[in-house]
Amino acid sequence: MRFTTVELVVEQAPISAKPDQIVGVRVDYQERQLRAAVKAAGATWDHEAGVWRMPLKMARLLRLRERIIDR
């Protein structure tokens, strides 16, 4: 027995990416190499909170998940 299938497209719309969540990441001043990596990844320093602000995806890529202090 043989089956033939058909896919029916009802609607087409562009996929829009969700804006990435910005999180605060704790990096000590003495951790120079890590600070340099965080800066190179585009993180910004939040002086009031004393943390680096970066997208959650970037924090995960840099394996800083355990250093995230707020979501």
Q: What H or E segment, with its residue span, contains residue 51?
A: strand 51-55
Query: What phi-psi label fits residue 68: left (phi over 0), alpha (psi between -120 and 50 degrees) or beta?
Result: beta
Kindly state whether residue 38 falls inside one of the protein's structural domains: yes
> pLDDT of the chain along its 71 residues, tens only?
888 888 888 888 887 777 789 999 999 999 999 999 999 999 999 999 999 999 999 999 999 999 999 75
> What are the φ/ψ torsions at residue 57 (nearest 5 degrees)?
-60, -40
- Domain with 33 in it: 22-70
Would you say 69 and 26 are in contact if contact means Cβ atoms under 8 Å apart? Answer: yes
Kindly state whether residue 54 falls inside one of the protein's structural domains: yes
User: Rg for the chain (alpha carbons), in Å?
Assistant: 20
- How many domains would you assign to the chain? 1
**pTM of the entire structure?**
0.70
**SS percent in the chain: helix, strand, coil, step 5:** 25, 20, 55
